[in-house]
Amino acid sequence: MDKISYDYMFGMDAATVDDLLTASEVGVLSLADESTAYAVPVAFHYDGSSLYIRLTSDDSSTKMTFLEATTDACLCLYEVEGADDYWSIVVRGPLRALDDDERAAFDEMTINESFRRLPVFDQDIEATELEIYELELESVTGRQSGT
């Protein structure tokens, strides 16, 4: 039997994690409703201290149903640059809807500057609501390959 190949991963220092969170735009948000999980790619913005997630909703939004049931969300971002060059960051914590004053800070221009363009799939744009949530940074873990 052939031997299984392994790569050693190493923890990232806080500055590297911070730099990658700042430079990245998308990740996979994982939500849960009891024993059922739901994961969806999302745009996010990290300002150095807070991590904001931009979501859209309409009357049939699966992610919003799961979001309401989730007490501890998880955002995963990663990049693979080659067989021996990759990294990942996992952020865990509760998702909190912004209050009216906080939401006012995200006007249309700020949203366009802070987040990548909004993808729309077979949705009536007029019936789609844009929502901004803060993912509270209870746990942030970064790993990278050894090369």
Amino acid in position 120: V
Confidence category of residue 5, pLDDT binned at 50, 70, 90 = confident
The predicted-structure confidence for 62-91, as pLDDT tens digits, reads as follows 888 899 999 999 999 999 988 778 999 999
What tokens were used for 34? 């009891």
- Higher-pLDDT residue of 66, 118: 66
Q: How far apart are CA 141 and CA 14, in angstroms?
A: 9
Once rounded to an integer, what is the mean pLDDT over residues 109-135? 73
Strand partners, 142: 89
Q: Which helix (H) or strand (E) holds 101?
A: helix 100-104
Q: Which domains does the chain have, with CATH numbers?
A: 9-145 (2.30.110.10)
